[in-house]
Amino acid sequence: MEKNTGHESVNTNRSVMQVLSSENCDIEILENGQTINNFIDNKIEERGSVDNEEAFYVANLDSMFERHLRWLTNLPRVKPFYAVKCNNTPAVIQMLSALGTGFDCASKGEIQMALSLGVTPDKIIYAHTTKPRSHIKYACAHGVDLMTFDSEDELLKISECHAKAKLVLRIAVDDSNSLVRLSSKFGARLDTVEKLLERAGELDLEVIGVSFHVGSGCTDSLTFKQAITDARHVFDIASLLGFQMRLLDIGGGFSAIGDFQMKFQEFSEVINGALDKFFPPDSGVQIIAEPGRYYVESAFTLAVNVIAKRVDIDHMAEHNNGEENSSDRMMYYINDGVYGSLNTIINDPVQTVVAPYLHKAVEGSEQRYRSVIWGPTCDSIDKITENYWIPELDVGDWLLIDNMGAYSVSVTTTFNGFENAQIYPVVTAETWHTLNLCHTYSIIH
């Protein structure tokens, strides 16, 4: 394994190294056939040798690269602007920057972070419709011109703070088939857009496009079709009012794990069909999207430590007159929970269930016990799983949890003084070399 210092591993091309090498970005390159699993084993062993049980993540950048290639294959006309809010780990931003994506930032802080990691302002969309004045001024001062709006008051603020902004009108869409519905909070209704656009004209503001977000955990591809149809309608109104419309932003809401694996393919086909019908390539309209979850969901694996254990005696007594039998319930306490990395269990309707598994090898025949896994804090909502059948664990054992990249590290707290899990970004040497070759021949942008 080799540290990415920017000198040792790749000499052929500097561009990817320049993007991925910085003080903030500590990527390990896995050499000599080392796998992510080997890396996790080593980290756990290392921690054991220094009596350190702190939870950690491994961020698998290969997974993000694969997702990007899949995006380019499935949605070739749609340029992704990664939603920084989903996971703001510097290595994630830098990897995506190296892959040539743009970025959706929701605040001054996110813009600041992207710029500090080498993202150029023309690759940022400030995709929040209710912005503090000071954040709009910051965007203006740093050359971030592209931003969304959905109300007259926002137009007034923008005309005061960034009169030269390039505006994207966010519309509300039918998101009734999504697990996280955003159109109840954001987006102009179709029957209000004409008035809004007229107001933008009066204020001498430049509106260049339309955006929407179908919500997270969208289960119906026709939602995208309808939203693209609605966007076409708004383009037509805006064109009649004299605006030079040239950008369509189809938002986020993409996933490719579990049940959504097939859906991504299906969604892509529906989106491509609707784009070709309503915004054909010769229309000159640039199509972008704001995927968050899609890029990072499967890239992060969380390793947690069993810090305490007890048998649920009350439960046994209540149901079995104190005799031990198969309904015994084990209680385990791990060092990360719903106030930390596992907050999705209570905050994110798309990921309310996680499936921890033992890091150490387990025989298939080993007896399993009904178990509850709790997080470390003093709060009883800090529960990870209930009625979970696993072999008996010992204090000090490690559990792994996959698919922990979305809305985990960016939402975490330090409630009760428990520290956030450290993040180790890794990339295999094969992917690292491929990335450099791709850059050399400009085939990933």
Ligand X SMILES: Cc1ncc(COP(=O)(O)O)c(C=O)c1O
Active site residues: 378
Least Å distance, CB 44 to ligand X, is: 30
Kindly report the number of other CB atoms within 10 A of residue 434's CB atom. Answer: 17
- In the complex with ligand X, the residue whose CB is nearer, 110 or 382, is 110
Cα 212 from Cα 425, distance rounded (Å): 32
Shortest Å distance, C-beta 379 to ligand X: 25
Nearer to ligand X, 102 or 291 (CB): 291
Closest approach, Cβ 165 to ligand X, in A, equals 17
Q: Which residues contact 254 (CB under 8 A, 6 or more apart)?
A: 264, 267, 289, 291, 293, 294
Considering the complex, state which of residue 209 and residue 251 has its C-beta at the smaller distance from ligand X.
251
The candidate with the shortest Cα–Cα distance to 210, out of 135, 127, 316, is 127
- What residue spans of 171-259 are helical by DSSP H? 193-202, 222-240
Listed residue (67, 26, 98, 29) closest to 424, CA to CA: 26
DSSP symbol at 282: G
Q: Which is nearer to ligand X, 157 or 293 (CB)?
A: 293
Residue 150 Cβ vs ligand X, minimum distance, rounded to whole Å: 11
Give the binding site for ligand X (CB under 6 A).
Answer: 83, 86, 104, 127, 182, 213, 216, 251-254, 290-294
Residue 183, CA distances (Å) to 116, 172, 188, 251, 423 in order: 31, 5, 9, 12, 33
Q: From the CB of 427, what's the least distance to ligand X, in Å? A: 22
Which one, 174 or 194, has the nearer CB to ligand X? 174
Residue 55 token pair: 């939870």
User: Which of 65, 57, 140 minimizes the C-alpha distance to 97?
Assistant: 65
How far is it, in rounded angstroms, from Cα 54 to Cα 47? 8
User: Tokens 């009649």 map to which residue?
Assistant: 240
Distance CA 26, CA 193 (A): 46
Task: Indicate the burial class of 223 (C-beta count within 10 angstroms; 0-12, 13-18, 19 or more).
Answer: buried
- Which residues, including other chains, have CB under 8 Å from residue 51's CB and lie 6 or more apart? none
CB 223 → ligand X: shortest distance, Å? 13
Answer yes or no: are the C-beta atoms of 105 and 126 closer than 8 Å: yes
Q: Which is nearer to ligand X, 166 or 383 (CB)?
A: 166
